[in-house]
Amino acid sequence: MSVVRPANEDFGAQLSFDRSAPGRRAVDVPSWGGEETPLPDAHLLRDSVRLPELSQGSLVRYYTALSARNYGIDSGTYPLGSCTMKYNPKVDDLVASLPGFATAHPQAPVEEAQGTLRILLELRRGLAQVTGLPHVSLAPAAGAHGELAGVLMITRALEDRGELATRRRILVPDSAHGTNPATAAMAGYSVTEIPTAANGSLDRDALARELDETVAAVMATVPNTLGLWVQGIEEFADLIHDAGAYLYGDGANLNAIMGRVRYGDLGFDVVHLNLHKSFSTPHGGGGPGAGPVACTEELARYLPAPIVVEDDDSVVRLETPERTIGQLQQFHGNVGVLIRAYAYMRALGAEGLRAVSGQAVLNANYLRVLMHGHYDLPYDRPVLHEVVFSGTRQRREHGVRTYDIAKRLIDHGFHPPTVYFPLIVEEALMMEPTETEPPEAIEALADAMIAIAAESAEDPETLHGAPWTAPIGRLDEAEAARRPVLRWQPPDDE
């Protein structure tokens, strides 16, 4: 944020529509000098459309002011757990916008897109190396889209095995991202929750108890959302396979283990990756991302189309797997994002990706020891990429909630951590510094959190009202949901 608006201006009340002045315009359109073809019959046409009329300069100022009311990774440390908010290299944006890539038409003959296709091919091969799973589809647009692909692939496989009618359950740990159960349900399965053991790993006995001929798959996040390794996951894989089920991997936390251990080697059948996390493509305030899905030989024939393959004549083509689940987008996936991810992979190489996971894990542990003692740490042991503290002490002793702590962190110049997740940690504060933060930034973050812990004892009111320095104060979310206002309306209609 570069600008703090004066308190007396209600900037949010003035949308572009409200700033409109009839007769102004931001761009001009060439006039048609040729012969006029009559327009279609009037009943097929519209009279007018209500859109704002602003000059070019006014529109630029409006959106520039809006951007100043946002906080990105370029603004400062963004320890949003499980979201892997690391620095996004600018060269990735530069190369993805080269006109040769940008203008490629999705229906163009493959001969006209060999540059793009070769990049996709090499990215596909690279992701196979990183995951240890030989087959990859780059088609899904985001992590949850990749999850849907993976679960639908399992559906197809069960169909071919003649077991789809009986295998109707998917087991999901209670620490899982919400997308896991939502995906399973979207694909028509019922969800059974598996509890977390006292050591933060999956409860082996509970898993073994639930595994039977009604289970289609187990969805596991490795490392899990507590930032911990799932002890015995390779053994769980055997149990799951012995029961005739598949092991699905949520690869959201790949950043912790790149180059250290591979999903395929551990026995995962299919896994999705979030390239907007571990491969550092910018998140854009909620996308676009990319959620490639990688799988074993057995499941390869079900992958979502298209698959990028190289022919004997070195021409790269798009192929539809034999028993594909189909396409998940009209075209080939979020190619612009995939080019950025490729550039990231090439800038790091194999050693670089190992250095990434090493530093990410060191940074999370450094934050853990710096904050240790100031907040409760329900799973008090070394972590991988993230650490989950709890604000229970602050709530119990001072009536300060995690929510207040998060908001107060904004006043200290940081983006808050992920809060109230995972669900199994009370008053959770989930922090992931990533490898791109220097130690001094982690120290400053820890100092701020420690100062807030002190404040919660001495001056809880300051926390209850925080943030004080943001462009706007706490908003009435209950009212927003109770009486939804979801679009601009002319003043008379309101």
Partner 1 sequence: MPEGSPHPYIPATEADRARMLARVGVDSVDALFDDLPAEYRDPAFELPPQLTEPELIALLEERAAVNADPGRPNFLGAGAYRRSIPSIAGYLTSRSEFVTAYTPYQPEISQGTLQSAFEYQSVVCELTGMDVSNTGLYDVASSTAEACLLAARATRRSAVALLEPVHPGTVDVVRAYARGAGIRVDVVRAGSDVTDEHACLVAQQPDFLGTIADLEPLAEAAHAVDALFVTVADPFALGLLRSPGDAGADIVTGEGRDLAGAPAFGGPSVGLFAARQQYLRQMPGRIVGRTKELEAPPGGGEPRTGYVLTLQAREQFIRRERATSNVSTAQALIALAFTITVQALGPRGLREAAELCYQRAHAAAARVAALPRYDVTDRGPWFQEFLVRGPLPAAELARELAARGITAGLDVSDRAEPEARDAMLFAVTEATPDAHVDTLIEALAEIGANS
Q: Rule CB under 8 A: which of 350-379 touch partner 1?
A: 350-353, 355-356, 358-359, 361-363, 365-366, 368-370
Binding mask 150-169 for partner 1 (x = CB under 8 A): -xx--x--------------
Residue 266 interacting with partner 1 (CB under 8 A): yes
Among 141, 243, 377, 424, binds partner 1 (CB under 8 A): 141
Segment 190 to 229, residues that bind partner 1, using CB under 8 A: 190-191, 228-229
Nearer to partner 1, 399 or 473 (CB): 473
Residue 491 interacting with partner 1 (CB under 8 A): no
CA–CA separation, 479 and 446 (whole Å): 34
Nearer to partner 1, 205 or 476 (CB): 476
Phi and psi torsions of 305, nearest 5°? -80, 155
Among 81, 124, 130, 379, binds partner 1 (CB under 8 A): 130
Residue 251 interacting with partner 1 (CB under 8 A): no
- Closest by CA to 245, choosing from 253, 254, 236, is 236
Q: How far is the CB of 296 from partner 1 (least distance, A)?
A: 16
Residue 280: CA count within 13 A, CB half-sphere: 24
Nearer to partner 1, 235 or 397 (CB): 235
Q: How far is the CB of 195 from partner 1 (least distance, A)?
A: 15
Q: How far is the CB of 378 from partner 1 (least distance, A)?
A: 17
Q: How far is the CB of 474 from partner 1 (least distance, A)?
A: 5
Residue 60 interacting with partner 1 (CB under 8 A): yes
Among 247, 328, 388, 445, binds partner 1 (CB under 8 A): 328
Residue 484 interacting with partner 1 (CB under 8 A): yes
Among 163, 166, 186, 451, binds partner 1 (CB under 8 A): 186
For residues 154 and 148, is the Cβ–Cβ distance under 8 A? no
For residues 219 and 170, is the Cβ–Cβ distance under 8 A? yes
Nearer to partner 1, 191 or 444 (CB): 191
What residue has token string 């572009």?
Answer: 16
Residues in CB range of 199: below 8 A, 6 or more apart: 228, 231, 379, 381
CA–CA separation, 61 and 64 (whole Å): 5
Residue 119 interacting with partner 1 (CB under 8 A): yes
Segment 395 to 414, residues that bind partner 1, using CB under 8 A: 406-407, 410
Q: How far is the CB of 264 from partner 1 (least distance, A)?
A: 9
Q: Which amino acid belongs to residue 467?
A: P
Residue 480 interacting with partner 1 (CB under 8 A): yes
For residues 268 and 245, is the Cβ–Cβ distance under 8 A? no
Q: What angle do CA 479, 485, 490 make, to 5 degrees?
A: 140
CA–CA separation, 193 and 403 (whole Å): 27
Nearer to partner 1, 10 or 396 (CB): 10
Among 100, 165, 198, 493, binds partner 1 (CB under 8 A): 100
Question: In this structure, are strands 169-173 and 190-194 parallel, antiparallel, or unpaired?
Answer: parallel
- Direct distance between the N- and C-terminal alpha carbons of the chain, in angstroms, rounded to an integer: 31
Residue 399 CB coordination number (10 Å):
12
CA–CA separation, 31 and 104 (whole Å): 28
Cβ neighbourhood burial of 164 (10 Å; 0-12, 13-18, 19+): middle
Q: How far is the CB of 319 from partner 1 (least distance, A)?
A: 15
Q: How far is the CB of 396 from partner 1 (least distance, A)?
A: 24
139 token code pair: 């088609």
